[in-house]
Amino acid sequence: MGSVTVGSYLIGRLVELGVRHVFGIPGDYVLSFYAALERSPLAVINCADEQGAGFAADAYARVNGIGAVCVTYGVGGLKLVNSTAQALAEKSPVVVISGGPGIGERRRDPLLHHKIRSFESQLDIFREVTCAAAIIRDPDSAQRDIDTALAACLRRSQPVYLELPRDLVAAPLEIKPGTEEAVERDEAALEEAIAETTRLVTTAMQPVIIAGEELARFGIVDQLPALLERSGIPVATTTLSKSVVDETHPLFLGVYEGAIGHETTRRYVEESDCLIILGATLSDATLGINTARLDPALTIASSSSQTWVHRHMYPQVTLVDFVKGLARALPSRARPVIANPARPPAWQPEPAEPVTVGRLFQCLNAFISPETTVVADVGDVLFGAMDLVVEAWDFIAPAYYLSLGFAIPGAVGVQLANPGTRPLVLVGDGAFQMTGMELTTAVRYGLDPIIILLDNSGYGTERPMLDGRFNDVVPWHYARVPEVLGGGRGYEIHTEGELDDALRTARDDRSGFSLLHVHLEQHDLSPALQRLTALMADRVRAGG
């Protein structure tokens, strides 16, 4: 209890919830709050662009459990809409803080700069891309507004929006006793769902678990190994949840991607007579562009909102309780013999041979280590990366929302959230041109990601579907970007020998980022992307 300011109360709650860094760009409507941030335990991470700050906060939240981004009103806030929409779609708990015109300034609806149609316009927009949004309108309601938003952010693992008028930052706030929102639990329904699932698993010949991203988002990923060891049930992941389980685990089947994935994984999952889907977002992007063949009549699915056992719905049984109950209840069974993806043998380059996409990912598979976190952008880098073998929760990518430009700022967020890791960034030339200048943020804060930039002269994912000049990008001298930014080191890569040498040097160089500009033939695609684009090309030509 006691008196603080509205700004310091918000900062205190962020610190209490585990936020250590706030990403963003200052502006006049938020300068007083930025000054308060600089006096606080939170580190302010100035980014190159608001969207980059949003992507960094998203990646940070996926690793840390919660993240925050702070910008000014209008021109800053609206540049965050895309990254916030991604966080909503992929369940990443980001607190979006926007400065705003003072409450006193809003009287009589004056024409203040950065304003759109009305002072409510930005709030209305963010209501569409967050699970809770509010303008803090006075000190008396500030605590309630802040606490309600932060509780929703954690409970639903989705972004929230708080607009802080600049004349309220230093306004006094009397802290009142907080009231925790009661969580509704139906213990009888939970026991029934667990019992029904146990009966189905016991009688099944080939049960399979699909482990989803919500296991990590809601902090129960550590329950999965015990569940696997107890039950002996094989497990697959999706593109969005890749590495939610250690991919060297003997029960790991691979990444399930419908018809564009590996045939052995697809067949084992689709032939299952008891499929248990735990916290996975199932979309066209994660199901091989709707080529998955999963029978709802044989499926048990639990998420953060409800649980289904075949066609029985348990609306009050959520993922956390269901997984913990299964870990206690499922009986042991003999482990089946499965084809587990294995890390390849030591990389043996053909020094004079040009680098191809397939050989590049073979090389990277041998290069990654337990200290590596792979951060993949959208495009062939994402599809090729599905074949990498990584350990538990060491892979981050926007594999459902699929927004280009995530990986470079995402690597900044990942390394600040976990200083013990070294990001390996996979990005195409088109995506790099969108947000690659966030490497200046890496220079500013002493970060050292290794960036593998695949240069195939444009948007290679789209060319096989429908090609045209619209898929071209202007060629950059990417390896010279470090000269512009005043930090890092660039490498020109044409051959396997140059790739091998550059990776060895980059591994030992911790002085800054390493940018490997890998030149590829324009139409060279990974096997997964060849399968995907063939499917999508048929749909584009058919107008579907």
DSSP code per residue over 22-86:
EEE---GGGHHHHHHHHTSSSEEEE-SSHHHHHHHHHHHHHHHS-EEEEE-TTTTTGGGHHHHHH
Of residues 396 and 296, more confidently modeled: 396
**How far apart, in whole angstroms, are the C-alpha atoms of residue 485 and residue 438?**
10
Residues 406 and 454 in one domain: yes
Residues 164 and 209 in one domain: no
Show which of 275, 309, 329 is a domain's final residue. 329
Query: Per-residue pLDDT for 69 more than 90?
Result: yes
Determine the Cα–Cα distance for residues 315 and 186; give it in Å rounded to an integer. Answer: 9
CA angle 418, 424, 425 (to 5 degrees): 110
Tokens 């994935």 appear where? 261
Name the residue among 467, 465, 447 with its Cα closest to residue 457.
467
pLDDT given for residue 251 in this prediction:
94
For residue 542, the model assigns a pLDDT of: 61
Higher pLDDT, 108 or 486: 486
Indicate if 118 and 57 belong to the same structural domain: yes
User: Does 420 score more than 60 pLDDT?
Assistant: yes
117 and 94 assigned to the same domain:
yes
Cα separation, 488 vs 439, whole angstroms: 9
Please give the structure tokens belonging to residue 151. Answer: 């509780």
Least confident of 102-116, 413-427, 446-460: 102-116
Residue 451 β-bridge partners: 425, 515
Structural domain includes residue 350? no
Q: What CATH code is carried by the domain that includes residue 32?
A: 3.40.50.970
State pLDDT tens for residues 101-154: 999 888 877 888 888 888 899 999 999 999 999 999 999 999 999 999 999 999
Please check whether residues 299 and 274 belong to one and the same domain.
yes
Q: What confidence tier does 541 reach under pLDDT thresholds 50, 70, 90?
A: low
**100 plus 38 within the same structural domain:** yes
CB within 8 Å of 505: residues ≥ 6 apart:
491, 514
Number of domains making up the chain: 3
Statement to judge: residues 161 and 199 lie in one domain: no
Same domain (yes/no): 130, 163 = yes
- Is residue 337 one of the residues assigned to a domain? no
User: Residues 393, 319: one domain?
Assistant: no
Q: Which structure tokens are listed for 460?
A: 């290679």
Both tokens of residue 136? 């803090």
Distance set, CA 30 to CA 68, 138, 169, 215 (Å)? 14, 17, 9, 35
- Residues of the domain holding 7: 2-175
Q: Which residues contact 240 (CB under 8 A, 6 or more apart)?
A: 90, 212, 213, 280, 281, 285, 286, 397, 399, 400
* Percent of the chain residues past pLDDT 70, beyond the cut: 96
Tokens of 358: 């397939």
Quote the DSSP letter at residue 437: G
Mode of pairing for the β-strands spanning 2-5 and 312-314: unpaired
44-48, 178-182, 360-364, 502-506: the lowest-pLDDT one: 178-182
> Domain holding 227: CATH number?
3.40.50.1220
Quick check: is 342 in a domain? no
User: What is the Cα–Cα distance from 475 to 457, expressed in whole angstroms?
Assistant: 7
Q: Confirm if 245 and 392 have CB atoms less than 8 A apart.
A: yes
Most distant pair of Cα atoms in the chain: their distance = 73
Reported as a pLDDT band with limits 50, 70 and 90, residue 533 is low
pLDDT exceeds cutoff 70 at 1: no
pLDDT higher than 70, residue 359: yes
Assess if residue 529 is contained within a domain.
yes
Average pLDDT value for the chain: 93
Which CA distances in Å does 443 have to 412, 419, 449, 487, 488?
A: 10, 15, 10, 6, 7
Residue 201 within a domain: yes
Our CA angle for 212, 215, 218, nearest 5°, is 135
More confident residue, 66 or 344: 66
Does residue 499 or residue 288 have the better pLDDT? 499
Domain boundary among 279, 309, 329: 329
Indicate if the pLDDT at residue 480 is higher than 90. Answer: yes
pLDDT (mean) for 224-245: 94
Asked, for residue 252, whether it belongs to a domain, the answer is yes
Which of 241, 201, 245 has the alpha carbon at shortest distance from 225? 245
More confident residue, 299 or 391: 299
State residue 171's pLDDT score: 97
Residue 156, domain member (yes or no): yes
Residue 544 has pLDDT above 60, yes or no: no
What residue type is assigned to position 374 of the chain?
V
57 token code pair? 């906060």
Last residue of a domain, one of 131, 151, 175: 175
In a domain, 348, yes or no: no
What DSSP designation does 520 have?
-
The per-residue pLDDT for 111 is 81
Rounded distance between C-alpha atoms, residue 475 and residue 86, angstroms: 28
What's residue 182's pLDDT? 64
The span from the CA of 435 to the CA of 444, in Å, is 16
Residues 404 and 454 in one domain: yes
Q: Phi, psi at residue 275, to the nearest 5°?
A: -100, 120
Same domain for 409 and 317: no
Task: Give the tokens for residue 295.
Answer: 């029978």
pLDDT of residue 342: 63
Both structure tokens of 447: 């970060």
Q: Give the model's pLDDT for residue 106.
A: 86
Taking the C-alpha atoms of residue 526 and residue 382, their distance in angstroms, rounded to an integer, is 10
| Same domain flag for 532 and 405 | yes
- Classify burial at 419, counting beta carbons within 10 Å of its beta carbon; exposed 0-12, middle 13-18, buried 19 or more: exposed
Beta bridge partners of 277: 210, 301
For the entire predicted model, the pTM comes to 0.95
